[in-house]
Amino acid sequence: MKARFIIMAVMIFLLMPVSVIADETSPVDRLDQLSDEALRMVKLHRYEDAKRLLDYFSDQFVSVSGTERPFTTDELRIVTLSHDEAVQATANATMNHNEKINRVTKFRLVMDAITSPYQPLWTEMESTVMTVVADVKEAAYVGNSEHFHTNFNTFLSLYDMIYPSMKINVKAERLQQLDARIQFIDQYRPKVLTEASSKQELEALEADLQLIFDDMAEDEADPSLWWVIISTGSIIILTLSYVGWRKYKGAQEKVKDHSREHKD
């Protein structure tokens, strides 16, 4: 009974800081929530409300980036550019609703990539992106020019949406290689449709993208979580060892006392 009580006490003690941290919302997390709320307003066609939230975000971002969190130069540039696009989209009366959603979604994904490096939202688009790439390949191999151009343009729109957030989570060298491949396919579309060697670029594009998504899936576990698991396990083992040693010592003492009683 004592052993069970000690183990429970240790686990509660270890998990208390985690619970406290989970309940606290950092200034950067609040910025992330503002981007999410702005996207929700756009989806509801409440563009003025979305713009007010984005303007408020701008004021808060200056304060947070100056005092609370040391954003990198790349993060500052990516957030600023995607935020400006989102503001312009909500203020543009001639832009269609879907394009407004795409622009603000791009900004939303950027903020999530900064606050959730191990489970970024842009990776949830894997199925959509890879399906479109597969459609591009199929159209190229059967020689369907119209479907090829339509599907590749769709891919470019999706890639444009997730690219800024990818820049935050993916190494620059990998993205440069991916960009070069996409630019080649875009520039030499007629060759990709007619030449077998150029079609290999589509195969390589699919493989590169899949590898990036797979690598992000492998990195989803937060290292701090593993530290908690290892620490908890180690302390429980130590606790059990200590309890076992105490029981052993207690048994030894009883044997000695029993021996003394017989001698007496």
- The type of residue at 34 is L
Mean local confidence (pLDDT), 27-41: 95
Residue 230 domain flag: no
Distance between CA atoms of residues 239 and 246, nearest Å: 11
The answer to which of 25-34, 79-88, 208-217 has the lowest mean pLDDT is: 25-34
Residue 2 scores a pLDDT above 70: no
| Per-residue pLDDT at 225 exceeds 50 | no
User: What average pLDDT does the segment 213-231 reach?
Assistant: 61
Q: Is the same domain home to 154 and 203?
A: yes
More confident residue, 20 or 36: 36
Instruction: Kindly state the average pLDDT of the residues 172-200.
Output: 95
What angle is formed at CA 128 by the lines to CA 203 and CA 133, rounded to 5 degrees?
20
With beta carbons less than 8 A apart as the criterion, state whether 10 and 239 touch.
Answer: yes
Same domain, 139 and 84: no
Do residues 45 and 53 make contact, with C-beta atoms less than 8 angstroms apart? no
Residue 229: which pLDDT band, with cuts at 50, 70 and 90? very low
Q: Is residue 134 part of a domain?
A: yes
Mean pLDDT across the chain? 83
In this structure, the answer to whether residues 105 and 169 fall within a common structural domain is no
Tell me, yes or no, whether 183 and 130 share the same domain: yes
Q: Which of 18, 85, 256 is nearest to 264 (CA)?
A: 256
Angle at 10 between CA 9 and CA 13, to 5 degrees: 85
Residue where one domain finishes, among candidates 115, 130, 162? 115
Overall domain count for the chain: 2
Q: What sign does the dihedral 154-105-130-186 (CA atoms) show?
A: positive
**Are residues 122 and 108 part of one domain?**
no
- The whole-angstrom separation of Cα 264 and Cα 253 is 16
* Contact partners, residue 178, CB within 8 Å, separation at least 6: 205, 208, 209, 212
Q: Which residue has the higher pLDDT, 21 or 190?
A: 190
Domain for residue 108, yes or no?
A: yes
With beta carbons less than 8 A apart as the criterion, state whether 60 and 27 touch.
Answer: yes
CA-to-CA distance for 187 and 140, rounded, in angstroms?
Answer: 15
241 located within any domain? no
Are the CB atoms for 148 and 172 separated by under 8 Å? no
- Determine, yes or no, domain membership for 148: yes
Q: Of 115, 134, 154, which one is at a domain's C-terminal end?
A: 115
219 versus 75: the higher-pLDDT residue is 75
Say which range, 90-94, 98-102, 233-237, has the weakest mean pLDDT: 233-237
My answer on whether 39 and 94 are in the same domain is yes
Q: Which pLDDT tens digit goes with each residue over 113-161?
A: 999 878 899 999 999 999 999 999 999 999 999 999 999 999 999 999 9
Same domain, 110 and 122: no
Q: Are residues 165 and 94 in the same domain?
A: no
Q: Could you tell me which of 121, 124, 50, 118 has the C-alpha nearest to residue 88?
A: 50
Would 1 be classed as within a structural domain? no
Q: Is 35 in the same domain as 88?
A: yes
Same structural domain, 128 and 211: yes
**Do 31 and 89 belong to one domain?**
yes
Range of the domain at 35: 25-115
Q: For residues 126 and 214, give the distance between their C-alpha atoms in angstroms, rounded to a whole number.
A: 9
Catalogue the E-assigned strands of 41-110: none
Please say if the pLDDT value at position 181 is more than 80.
Answer: yes
Residue 230, pLDDT score: 44
Please indicate, yes or no, if residue 14 is contained in any of the structural domains: no
Residues 94 and 132 in one domain: no
Whole-number pLDDT of residue 45: 98
User: 95: phi > 0 → left, psi -120 to 50 → alpha, else beta; which?
Assistant: beta
Which of 94, 115, 136 is the C-terminal boundary of a domain?
Answer: 115
Rounded Cα–Cα distance for residues 41 and 254 (Å): 73
Q: How many residues does the chain have?
A: 264
